[in-house]
Structure 1
Amino acid sequence: MFWVYAALAVSLVSFFVAAYFYNWVKKLPTANPKLDEVGALIREGAFTFLRREYRVLGLFSIIVMAVIFLFFPQPVWAGAGVGKNLLMVFAYLCGTVLSALAGYVGISIATIANLKAATAARESIQKSFMAGFRGGAVMGMAVIGTSLAGAALIYIISRDADVIMAFSFGASSLALFAKAGGGIFTKTADIAADLTGKVELGIPEDDPRNPAVIADNVGDNVGDVAGMGADLFDSNVAAMAATIVIALSLGEVPFLFCVTTLGLLASVVGVLCARLGKNGNPSRALNGGTYLTCGVFAALTFIACLASGFELRLWGAAMVGMLAGVIIGITSDFFTGDDKKPVAKVAEACQSGPAFTILSGFSYGLLSALPALVGIGLAALISYKLCAPLGAGYEMLGISCAAIGMLSIVGMIISSDAYGPIVDNARGVAEMADLGDEVLEITDELDAAGNTAKAITKGFSIGAAGLTVIALLGAFREVVQAAGVEITFDLMDPLVFFGMLVGAAIPAVFSAMLIMGVNRNSQLMVKEIHRQFKEIPGLKEGTGKPDYARCIDISTLGAIRELVPAGLTAIAATLLVGFIGGVQAIGGYLTGNIISGLLLALLMSNAGGLWDNAKKYIESGHFGGKGSDAHKAAVIGDTVGDPFKDTAGPSINTQITVVSLVSSLAAVLFLTYSIF
């Protein structure tokens, strides 16, 4: 139990680091009262949305808790008693509350750090970078510390696979809706603001005359910060849950907590050492912090394995996962970096019109999926083969360890990811508060690095989700075999093939529902912006005052209305396939869902990041610069990419995790009540 208690101790260290960074950022000055006014509007809008979203998700969670109590792990009328059902309800509740807390912590710091980073840009790019990064690090430390401490406490209390799965399902189900809802909110405002402001009126991106501009900045927080925090909290917990389920029978749970504990400790070292040199490149600084964290993690875990007597093959599997994560990140950087060839090529294509913008960006997005998918596949294959000689059950544990290895440095990954929306917001508030062109140039440079960082971290989290759900597939098989049924997934079995086809279609349907939600809400907001410019005297000239609250309300109501159906569709489809075809069909369903989901997630995340940076590449003075025909085409590409990279793409990996957990939790029901 040493490493389980060590996990609690290191989690406490991460909370102290988060508190230190929070106070450090909070003490930084703000430029002027106008900046404070803009910041207050953004903060109020973000928390208003979060409260309304969490009310809806609270009702959903109460319904799910009732279902868990009645049916999981066995129906209460089956005579096994209600003790374990109640424990699973408690574990589910802990997962949802901690996942919601991840989003709350993220918004709390992000809506402060954006103002501080904008103000610091008046002095230097180094100080602005530190304000943005340390703001992101608050979230990185708090989220991963919470997920590790939560998993350790649930393990101490129960040491039961079903209960641990319920904890993970709580985190995943809330993250699914939080990420989808936040993504719909942020892209509704972003698309409407870009199309009406940049394309129609030719005004700057964050011009205060645009009624959607505050909603756009609010969206950076509720989608890219709160939603992403819940998402990566979920990924980390799901990987730990799958590994615990597989490791319980093998007696290897201490190794899991060793790796995750030292991964968090390495992330603490990484965020404390992160700096931007005098002539430094922000992207290089972010990547350098990630590589330092990887090196510290590899060294610490190797020493710990030798000292604790763990199998070095398990350590090797974790290293394979970590290296695969780095490779996927480098791939995403190549396809989305503003200094790389694909971005320049798409920017060049913008000169020929928006159709060529879309065609070139979509093609690069498709290409970007291959190396990442090969990396995930090789990581799974190598870790499987590496651990197979240790005995039965260790091959799937090897894949789980690879997933844990990939997610081991997720504290640093979240810090870099949250940095992105913070500096994006800083750029917006700097323009609205008239902090000057020099500040805008600095925040633009930081924002471009943030876009690349977001693409890298999204690729990393999608890759981790890929390995995690393979491990969850192993956990599903473990649950079925624990019920006394031997199971194999033969592709020639029509039940398996039926499940695979349905599973492959669900990520596409899920993505379509989210993107259509963004489409519907953006059209409503565009109409509202047109109405305000038409009816408010002097708005275009800058003498009238826009009604920001109305646009925030459109985004909020639209996101709340659209976030539940897509998630429920994925869950309902899983249950339907299970009750029709049983565990064989579910095996195929999960396989199809994983393959299709990973492909779509990588395509959309990378294509979206590429279009965004192609727009910024043109705005920096290439191919005619701002206001040119190439710029207008790039803005249209960016609006297509917005729901790709910030709504559907990153939500898919959570959807895959949720259906995998539902499958494991309902496995006994599928064995008992399926039609075929």
Structure 2
Amino acid sequence: MPGVFPSSASPTGALLAADSTRSVSLSGGSLTLVAVVTVIAILSLGAAAYFRQEVLAAGEGTVRMQEIARAVQEGASAYLSRQFRTLGVFVVIVFFVLFALPGDASVRIGRSIFFVVGALFSASIGYFGMSLAVRANVRVAAAARDQGAEPAMKVGFRTGGVVGMATVGLGLLGASVVVLLYRDDAPSVLEGFGFGAALLAMFMRVGGGIFTKAADVGADLVGKVEQGIPEDDPRNAATIADNVGDNVGDCAGMAADLFESYAVTLVAALILGKAAFGEEGLVFPLIVPALGALTAVAGILMTRARQGENGLKAINRAFYASAAIAAVLCTVAAFAYLPGSYGGLHDAFADSDVNPRVVAIFSVLLGIVLAAAILALTGYFTGTDKTPTRDVGRTSLTGPATVVLAGISLGLESAVYTAVVIGAAVYLAFLLGGGSVVVSLFAIALAGCGLLTTVGVIVAMDTFGPVSDNAQGIAEMSGDVTGAGARILTDLDAVGNTTKAITKGIAIATAVLAATALFGSYSDAWQTAFTNARVDESSLSDSVVHSLSLTISDPNVLVGLILGASVVFLFSGLAITAVSRAAGAVVYEVRRQFRDHPGIMTGETRPEYGKVVDICTRDSLRELATPGLLAVMAPIAVGFGLGIGPLAAYLAGAIACGTLMAVFLANAGGAWDNAKKIVEDGAHGGKGSAAHEATVIGDTVGDPFKDTAGPAINPLIKVMNLVAVLIAPAIVKLTVGDDANTGLRIAIAVLALAVIVAAVTVSRRRGIAVGDAEPSARAGATR
């Protein structure tokens, strides 16, 4: 069966497997460069500390504003502390599972240790980003009140700069230290580092997303729709939980998400770089994001709004400027470090016309251009000043149904354009390889590294969103910011909504590039294991041959493809259902408080904010296990049950479907949110009108789309790819050779499937709306 095994594959395909075991020693010059990268990582953390001090030096506003801010701080810290205690169990279990996988003892130890390091770094990014954001929000509100638009925007964006530089610093630090310590074995050890970062990011994305959107949906449905009070009115018991959620979901969750994208892309680039370029391939992928760290500082410092200028223009200008600087520096680095031919890099390509410098330069530039294209495309479909979102707002004149339909159609359409742009970038990077699979895959990974040069600014853009949203909430709840100050915060909130949507789009692009590169790493892993097994292919049974087949016409491969796409749908459905369930509990609680305490509406009685925070915390943490187990166990079930080929198809289906689904959910939700802002600014009747109620309903539908299910798909597809890379040698070992054990292989698959079924069954039995104050509703919902 041609094309199935390394020995019968194309020469370049066989080369990928052969080169994974090629010994690579780092010269003194290369080690010096890696050490310089480590220093840049430490300096990036220093820049984060400098920006942090600058933010904390700003004024905190009135006593009432500070009281509200402290309530948000306490709720966010309590939630993340409980979440980390819950996730600690998963980290310990996976640590020992990784140690039990086949391989050299030193690599297994290093991979397990750096899995923990990756998880800790991901958690740290989320926690420290949140801890500053909940202190910066009141400072942005105070700056808008006392100083004006430019100082308020500066405080908000510098807050994001802290998180951005910390993301870059920790990502570079982890990768460079592994290369310094393990050198030739660094790619294998980095698999653990990336897996730890991705797993924690997925949990934080899901948990934080459920928390924030349960509070947001509950607050909107009862406060805005039923009681007719403003979004952040202090009489609404869910307002504090809503503001807490912005930080644990958008700050902590997104920061962890982009950090793991950073880590996983570097993992894939180093694995493939070793095979393609040898020594230079282990070093150049570190040089590119290190230069990006330097340009990120410039981008953050350049973000200043001119008099009367929309804040988004200032942010975009700084982004494009920093991206251009990064492109120039990376071009110089490629000419300075890489040779002009493959002679000395790779004997198999010594006579090739492919120029390593050209491959590296154009791959990196492709990633930078992709980031800029996604920024422009997402901004067009979700910006308040753009036609698509304005059209969604206009449909509010005919009711909530047309608002929902318009948002769905916009999301579906925009997903196609974004997917085509990402697909074009992947294919162009592939063409740069000049017919070599290994070089083409490395080019795709380098495109991801090019995109990483903008990550510092991208994270700053994302964090700016929830900080400005919280600032407006604190201003409205305190009643101490009025007039021009209130208007400034409204404008910054609208800008923040767009930057959050943009960064979600870029995060999706990063995820696809990383997953595609990891797909090549998966091929490398299983082909290497097959080669090392020294199997006589003629002795294999037909069933074994089909389990290793990569031919899409084989039924088992097609089934794998369908299952990969199906998991994305199931994962998204579970996340949205979890929000619906938790939001139902919030609705019951807020209704109860309005009913039992009439003094809340007159301002005589203070709402019980803590009860809603507790509901969101409890329900979001309870929902973490099911999507996490699905992400880890599904590839295990497919790989051990159907084989190597079907697992490859499974990953392809998940990447393709995940790309479209994530963009659809993010852009539809972003458009609904900003359509609401357009109406609240006075269009189509303004606040309190029927049009406003229609857009509020659209926004509540979009909340779990854009802030829970959509963003969580990014780490999902990378977690599944990393699981596949890690288990591929074990699948081959149990499928062919002297250690083949069909019974054990099928038993593992059945056990993984049983875990998935049990987790989903338990999740579905929880009911739709649960509230301690509504026992009859609980009983009715679960019948």
Residues 558 and 646 in structure 2, CA contact (< 8 A), matched pair in contact too: yes
Report the residue type matching 1:298 in the other structure. Answer: A
Q: Tell me by how many angstroms 1:392 deviates.
A: 5.4
Q: What is residue 109 of structure 1 aligned with on the other side? A: 132
Q: What is residue 471 of structure 1 aligned with on the other side? A: 517
Instruction: Tell me the SS of whatever aligns to 2:643.
Output: helix
Q: What is residue 416 of structure 1 aligned with on the other side? A: 461
CA distance in 2, matches of 1:171, 1:458: 18
Instruction: Tell me the SS of whatever aligns to 1:279.
Output: coil
Q: What is residue 669 of structure 1 aligned with on the other side? A: 730
Report the residue type matching 1:189 in the other structure. Answer: A
Instruction: Tell me the SS of whatever aligns to 2:629.
Output: helix
Question: How does the TM-score come out when normalised to structure 1?
Answer: 0.97
Match of 1:24 among 41, 51, 54: 54
CA distance in 1, matches of 2:95, 2:655: 27
CA distance in 1, matches of 2:633, 2:336: 47
Q: Residue 268 in 1 paired to residue 294 in 2?
A: no
- Structure 1 spans left out of the alignment, 5+ residues: 75-79
Match of 1:444 among 484, 487, 490: 490
Q: Give 1 or 2 for the bigger CA radius of gyration.
A: 2
Q: Residue 406 in 1 paired to residue 451 in 2?
A: yes
Match of 1:329 among 358, 371, 375: 375
Q: What is residue 14 of structure 2 aligned with on the other side? A: none
CA distance in 1, matches of 2:298, 2:333: 17
Residues 381 and 667 in structure 2, CA contact (< 8 A), matched pair in contact too: yes
Q: What is residue 215 of structure 2 aligned with on the other side? A: 189
Q: What is residue 168 of structure 1 aligned with on the other side? A: 194
Q: Residue 127 in 1 paired to residue 151 in 2?
A: yes
CA distance in 2, matches of 1:329, 1:52: 35
Q: Report the more deviating stretch, 393-402 or 621-630.
A: 393-402
Instruction: Tell me the SS of whatever aligns to 2:530.
Output: coil
- With over 3 angstroms needed to count, the CA separation of the structure-2 counterparts of 1:631 and 1:88, relative to structure 1, is same
Question: How does the TM-score come out when normalised to structure 2?
Answer: 0.84
Residues 348 and 623 in structure 1, CA contact (< 8 A), matched pair in contact too: yes
CA distance in 1, matches of 2:549, 2:643: 13
Q: What is residue 198 of structure 1 aligned with on the other side? A: 224
Q: Residue 562 in 1 paired to residue 562 in 2?
A: no
Match of 1:645 among 690, 695, 706: 706
Q: Tell me by how many angstroms 1:673 deviates.
A: 2.8
Equivalence map 1:340-419=2 (5 Å): 340-388=386-434, 391=436, 393-419=438-464
Residues 510 and 567 in structure 1, CA contact (< 8 A), matched pair in contact too: no
Equivalence map 1:427-576=2 (5 Å): 427-434=472-479, 435-485=481-531, 489-576=550-637
Instruction: Tell me the SS of whatever aligns to 1:73.
Output: coil
Q: Report the more deviating stretch, 540-549 or 435-444.
A: 435-444
Report the residue type matching 1:297 in the other structure. Answer: A
Equivalence map 1:127-276=2 (5 Å): 127-159=151-183, 160=185, 161-249=187-275, 250-251=277-278, 252-276=281-305
CA distance in 2, matches of 1:488, 1:18: 49
Instruction: Tell me the SS of whatever aligns to 1:170.
Output: helix
CA distance in 2, matches of 1:392, 1:543: 71
Q: Tell me by how many angstroms 1:386 deviates.
A: 1.2
CA distance in 2, matches of 1:149, 1:112: 27
Residues 514 and 563 in structure 1, CA contact (< 8 A), matched pair in contact too: no
CA distance in 2, matches of 1:537, 1:633: 27
CA distance in 2, matches of 1:208, 1:219: 16
Q: Report the more deviating stretch, 431-440 or 189-198.
A: 431-440
Q: What is residue 536 of structure 2 aligned with on the other side? A: none
CA distance in 1, matches of 2:283, 2:550: 30
CA distance in 2, matches of 1:210, 1:673: 58
CA distance in 2, matches of 1:527, 1:432: 22
CA distance in 1, matches of 2:646, 2:448: 25
Residues 8 and 148 in structure 1, CA contact (< 8 A), matched pair in contact too: yes
Q: Tell me by how many angstroms 1:436 deviates.
A: 1.7
Q: What is residue 542 of structure 2 aligned with on the other side? A: none
- Structure 2 spans left out of the alignment, 5+ residues: 1-30, 340-356, 533-547, 736-741, 747-783
CA distance in 2, matches of 1:27, 1:73: 52
CA distance in 1, matches of 2:397, 2:165: 43
Q: Report the more deviating stretch, 522-531 or 301-310.
A: 301-310
Residues 549 and 557 in structure 2, CA contact (< 8 A), matched pair in contact too: no
Q: Residue 95 in 1 paired to residue 115 in 2?
A: no
Instruction: Tell me the SS of whatever aligns to 1:393.
Output: helix
Instruction: Tell me the SS of whatever aligns to 2:161.
Output: helix
Match of 2:315 among 264, 283, 286: 286
Query: C-alpha deviations, 1:412-457, integer Å up to 9, x for none?
Result: 1000110000000000001111122432211110010111111111
Report the residue type matching 1:600 in the other structure. Answer: M
CA distance in 1, matches of 2:583, 2:531: 50
Q: What is residue 34 of structure 1 aligned with on the other side? A: 64
The percentage of counterpart residues that share the same residue type is 40
Report the residue type matching 1:356 in the other structure. Answer: T
Residues 353 and 630 in structure 1, CA contact (< 8 A), matched pair in contact too: yes
Q: What is residue 7 of structure 1 aligned with on the other side? A: 37
Residues 73 and 665 in structure 1, CA contact (< 8 A), matched pair in contact too: no
Report the residue type matching 1:302 in the other structure. Answer: T
CA distance in 2, matches of 1:185, 1:542: 27
CA distance in 2, matches of 1:505, 1:440: 45
Residues 317 and 387 in structure 1, CA contact (< 8 A), matched pair in contact too: no
Query: C-alpha deviations, 1:70-129, integer Å up to 9, x for none?
Result: 2x234xxxxx6x433222210111110101000111012101110100000012111110
Match of 1:47 among 51, 71, 77: 77
CA distance in 1, matches of 2:554, 2:452: 34
Query: C-alpha deviations, 1:220-263, integer Å up to 9, x for none?
Result: 00000000111000101010001111111331122111111111
Residues 73 and 162 in structure 1, CA contact (< 8 A), matched pair in contact too: no
Q: Tell me by how many angstroms 1:8 deviates.
A: 1.1
Residues 423 and 446 in structure 1, CA contact (< 8 A), matched pair in contact too: yes
Q: What is residue 545 of structure 2 aligned with on the other side? A: none
Residues 529 and 733 in structure 2, CA contact (< 8 A), matched pair in contact too: no
Residues 614 and 634 in structure 1, CA contact (< 8 A), matched pair in contact too: yes
CA distance in 2, matches of 1:590, 1:440: 48
Instruction: Tell me the SS of whatever aligns to 1:224.
Output: helix
Report the residue type matching 2:661 in the other structure. Answer: L
Match of 1:300 among 323, 329, 338: 329
Query: C-alpha deviations, 1:445-482, integer Å up to 9, x for none?
Result: 00101111111111011011111100000011111122
CA distance in 2, matches of 1:218, 1:556: 10
CA distance in 1, matches of 2:239, 2:36: 46
Q: What is residue 109 of structure 2 aligned with on the other side? A: 86
CA distance in 1, matches of 2:251, 2:483: 27
Q: Tell me by how many angstroms 1:485 deviates.
A: 4.4
Report the residue type matching 1:50 in the other structure. Answer: L
CA distance in 1, matches of 2:296, 2:382: 25
CA distance in 1, matches of 2:463, 2:216: 18
Q: What is residue 77 of structure 1 aligned with on the other side? A: none
CA distance in 2, matches of 1:156, 1:477: 26
Q: Tell me by how many angstroms 1:488 deviates.
A: 6.8
Match of 1:613 among 665, 671, 674: 674
CA distance in 1, matches of 2:123, 2:61: 32
CA distance in 1, matches of 2:377, 2:49: 34
Q: Tell me by how many angstroms 1:27 deviates.
A: 0.9
Report the residue type matching 1:29 in the other structure. Answer: G
CA distance in 2, matches of 1:581, 1:300: 46
